[in-house]
Structure 1
Amino acid sequence: MTVDPQRAGQDRQDLAAALRKLRRASGLSGERLAVRCGMSQSKVSRIETGRTLPTVVDVQQILSALGVDRDTAEDLLGLAQVANAEYEDVRASVQRGLHHRQRELATLESSARHMRHFLPAMITGLLQTPDYMRQAMSPAVDPADGDISRAMTMKLERQALLHDGSKRFDFLLTESAVRWQLCSSSVMAVQIDHLVSISRLPNVHISVLPLTERVPDAPFHTFVTYDDHLVTAELFSGRIVLRDPKDIDYYRRLFDFFVSHSAVDEDARAILESWADDYRAQFMRERD
């Protein structure tokens, strides 16, 4: 089965139709199937009409209750995995306007209580200074044609959430993410100082993972978990959104694994301050 994330919406409808057809072929009513699955009849109805996206576990329960053969079950479970993933092409996002992406992120952040950002490549928008942000939103390859100023304003407005004591933010940055010289040395020093300052907020926790630390796994890509409901994974070409509980649990455990190898609290701040000092020293050398 070929997995094309851009077909997630159609796959969702195909999955609903297939489950409805199998249930009718079995001779079971929606109510009887619900009893066998331990679900409510209303949930079964919403799944069959496509109003509710079933998790892979939901689909497993339904297929088991219907006694579906192995090949059919594997096909539908694969379809469920794809349906639980959405893909947003970065080019489509730019065409709609960069500010729309900021509005979507603001909605995710306002509805979540605990967010975990795993950052192996660069500093995320919630932690960026304006100068760093401007460069981050002006990539050298395929630069955006959208209104960067408007998007930057919205991104800076999102940072106010860091001061909302009802929310918790955990940021894990690798040394590569912090020290990647996206901007001039003076801008980098200010940006790292900003990380130290933000880390002192009571509801914000910043961990750093130095390159000198031995870690028996690799940081493949940036991801963010929003409570236990959703995960986003960043690619060069776009963003994948995962909603399956198994995927969410996996990424939460992965975050905890990397944190266990990281410096936290005062140790993290001391490391960040030393990196900022390195950039200040570089700036002074460049001036001489």
Structure 2
Amino acid sequence: MVGTAQRVNRSELGTALRVLREASGKEAKAVARGAVMSASKLSKIETGKVSPSADDVDRVLTAIGVSEDVKIEFMDAARAAATETTAWRLIQRAGLHKAQRQLQGIEARMTLLRVFQPALVPGLLQTPEYMRAVLSRHEDLTQESVRQTVMARLERQDVLQDPGKTLRFVITEPVLRWLIVPATVMVGQLDRLASVSRLPHIDVRVVPLAGPKHDIPNHPFVIRDDRAATVETVHAEIVVTDPRDVALYVAKFDGFAQDALHGDGMRALLEGIRNDLLPQRETH
């Protein structure tokens, strides 16, 4: 069966994982615990009631303790099958703060993060004031939901202090001039970006408005370890794990990073935008 893993479709993947687990002699509870998921979720994956993400498959295979060759074949099958779309309303219904904690777990295991943002300051770089201002725009979010989400996102930001990770951010200049928040909040946010950009394992770049451009900033996306790209659209979050598709996002990120300002040049741009905002801050 192992040799046919690449031909296993999504509906068969759970059954294949169950067969592997049973062949290993490990109980479901032990594998679920090792995969950091509930026994109920593992059961639903194995019976085909829940479609596993590539990350789910990776964790289950690691918990089972399969050989590297087997893992490669099953992960290829999982990634080829996996383009997951989850509507924001479903994420919100489950709890935005819970989604933040799930991301925290994923980011704890990664070593390389790339974030492209043409819409908002990336969540890992947001100040608490910026977070609250953005979240509070959503009338269907209660004050308690906003509070819990802000706290969970701030906990996620602990990853910024981990020198063992490489974190790369590319932001377009309009993000820093788009006053979806009061000018006083944006000034504080710019100061935060300048401060974080001085950490040696963090690369913050800004694509300036001036100069020729070689690509179009269609939408935000995040790439983790070249294994998955998460795309944010108006109605949903899309997770892509097919290596060919992930490579497209890596190339797009690298193109914008090449055109972007970084280091002292980037910080000088931030200072110029900050000076433009200061008069507006005085009148708000």
The TM-score by the shorter chain falls in which range? 0.7 to 0.9
1:162 maps to 160
Residue aligned with 1:91, SS:
helix
Aligned partners of 1:213, 1:139: CA distance in 2, in Å?
33
Residue aligned with 2:91, SS:
helix
Shift of 1:55: 6.1
Closer, same or farther in 2 for the Cα pair 1:55/1:98, shift >3 Å? closer
Unaligned runs of 5+ in 1: 1-10, 18-39, 57-79
Shift of 1:92: 0.7
- Please say if 1:222 is aligned against 2:245: no
- The code of the aligned residue for 1:54 comes to A
TM-score by length of 2: 0.73
Residue aligned with 2:204, SS:
strand
Shift of 1:144: 2.6
TM-score by length of 1: 0.72
CA RMSD of aligned residues (A): 2.4
1:99 maps to 97
2:44 maps to none
Aligned counterpart in structure 2 of residue 54 of structure 1, from 67, 77, 80: 77
Checking the alignment, whether the CA contact within 8 Å between 1:55 and 1:245 is kept in structure 2 is no
Q: Identity over the aligned pairs, expressed in percent?
A: 35
- Please say if 1:143 is aligned against 2:140: yes
Shift of 1:88: 1.5
Post-superposition, which runs of at least 4 consecutive aligned residues in structure 1 deviate over 3 A? 14-17, 40-44
Aligned partners of 1:99, 1:193: CA distance in 2, in Å?
26
Residue aligned with 1:254, SS:
helix
- Please say if 1:272 is aligned against 2:255: no
Aligned partners of 2:193, 2:208: CA distance in 1, in Å?
15
Closer, same or farther in 2 for the Cα pair 1:41/1:204, shift >3 Å? closer
Aligned partners of 2:78, 2:13: CA distance in 1, in Å?
11
Aligned partners of 1:168, 1:143: CA distance in 2, in Å?
36
Checking the alignment, whether the CA contact within 8 Å between 2:13 and 2:78 is kept in structure 1 is no
Where do residues 6-21 of structure 1 align in structure 2 (5 Å cutoff)? 12-13=10-11
CA deviations over 1:210-247 (Å, ceiling 9, x no partner): 11121122110000110111110011212100111111
2:36 maps to none
- The code of the aligned residue for 1:192 comes to L
Q: Radius of gyration: which is bigger? A: 1
Checking the alignment, whether the CA contact within 8 Å between 1:53 and 1:84 is kept in structure 2 is no
2:110 maps to 112
1:134 maps to 132
Checking the alignment, whether the CA contact within 8 Å between 1:213 and 1:261 is kept in structure 2 is no
Aligned partners of 1:112, 1:43: CA distance in 2, in Å?
18
Aligned partners of 1:255, 1:210: CA distance in 2, in Å?
15
Aligned partners of 1:165, 1:41: CA distance in 2, in Å?
31
2:150 maps to 152
Residue aligned with 2:259, SS:
coil
Closer, same or farther in 2 for the Cα pair 1:43/1:258, shift >3 Å? closer
Shift of 1:281: 2.2
Closer, same or farther in 2 for the Cα pair 1:153/1:274, shift >3 Å? same
Aligned partners of 1:235, 1:163: CA distance in 2, in Å?
29
